[in-house]
Amino acid sequence: MHEWISFHETFLWCIGSLSVLTIFVTIIAIPVMAVRIPEDYFMHHHRHRRGWHPQHPVLRFLYLLFKNFSGVIFILAGLGMLVFPGQGLITMVIGLMLLDFPGKYAIERWVIELPVILYAINRIRIKAHHPPLRDPSHHLFEKSKID
């Protein structure tokens, strides 16, 4: 075992450093991203476009490229955090929200309806003095009771 560790020392240092780096990045990035989600984001049946969307085709392409690349990085970091220390599920949810693909909003709503995810994000939002995200599953239940 000692020989294996000695032979892979550089690899183990890289993995350990990456783990520590992702912990620090998530400590900063996850709360910032979680509080930027509008509290009613998941209450609609279809996603409403908000925010800055450049009109020039080149700027729009660069914007989407950066946003999707960031989403992939967050998802990969979240997968790594399922094994190494960090907030893996929340990181993957934030990464998912950055990506653009057909059916994304339905997947986001399904994920946010998981009690552990909604609770974790709302805890972060409350600590940052932001209102909690409204629970889309609870809203749908109330709406079906009225109908």
DSSP codes joined into one string, 93-104? HHHHHH---TTH
At residue 47, the pLDDT reads 67
pLDDT (0 to 100) of residue 66? 92
CA dist list (Å): 90 to 5, 69, 79, 98? 32, 17, 10, 13
Q: How far is residue 147's CA from residue 142's CA, in Å, rounded to a whole number?
A: 9
DSSP 139: H
Rounded-to-integer distance, Cα 102 and Cα 105, Å: 8
pLDDT tens string 1-46: 778 777 778 887 887 787 777 777 777 877 888 888 888 888 877 7
Q: Tell me: the pLDDT tens digits for 111-129?
A: 888 888 889 889 999 999 9
Q: Which residue has the higher pLDDT, 97 or 143?
A: 97
Show Cβ contacts of residue 94 under 8 Å, excluding neighbours closer than 6 positions: 29, 30, 33, 34, 74, 78
d(CA 77, CA 92): 8
What average pLDDT does the chain have? 79
Give the pLDDT of residue 101: 86
Residue with tokens 């990969």: 76
pLDDT at 135 over 80: yes
Residue 147 confidence class, pLDDT cut points 50, 70, 90: very low
Evaluated on CA atoms 115, 116, 120, 121, the torsion sign reads: negative
CA dihedral 36, 105, 122, 25 (to 10 degrees): -60
pLDDT tier at 52, thresholds 50, 70, 90: low
Mean pLDDT (whole number) for 66-73: 90
Best mean pLDDT range from 73-82, 99-108, 116-125, 138-147:
116-125
